[in-house]
Structure 1
């Protein structure tokens, strides 16, 4: 079965990227590049979901949405 999740990418001050999945608490990783962070978070999601299934837990549907709002001050 295929699942889709929103991934939040955060640029860090040292040039690395953090990737997290808001719908899966604690599912966070990083990479030296944006592409590497995305590769790592895909692996983290797969492992996270495998554990959930092994424990008999229901996999959540990602209900999150993101909207960027510009504010001028």
Structure 2
């Protein structure tokens, strides 16, 4: 089994998704759920194509993490 990080972003009228470890493998959808489903299918197709062409499946090296940054109050900003 292979695992790949998928990034889903809100666009103007839809959602887009990509995997940093699979260049060129992208998907879109009207909703986040649809973009996620379409990306899953795109990754399956991408991996299938790599196997057919006898190319290696890339190793997943990406990870994601949220970073919390505290807002400064208006008084701290003007001081």
- Asked whether the two chains share a fold, i.e. TM above 0.5, the reply is yes
Which stretches in structure 1 are left out of the alignment for 5+ residues? none
SS at match of 1:30: strand
Unaligned runs of 5+ in 2: 73-79
Moved over 3 A (4+): 70-73
Residues paired across the two proteins, number: 71
1:50 corresponds in structure 2 to 48
The separation in 1 between residues aligned to 2:51 and 2:25, in whole angstroms, is 15
Q: 1:43, 1:59 → 2: CA distance?
A: 16
Return the alpha-carbon distance in structure 1 between the equivalents of residues 63 and 53 of structure 2: 28
Partners of 1:65 and 1:19 in 2: CA distance:
15
Matched residue, 2:77: none
Report the structure number with the largest CA radius of gyration.
2
TM-score, normalising length from structure 1? 0.87
Counterpart for residue 63 of structure 2: 65
Shift of 1:70: 4.1
Higher helix share: 2
Per-residue CA deviations over 1:41-71 (Å, capped at 9, x if unaligned) read 0110000001100111110111101223345
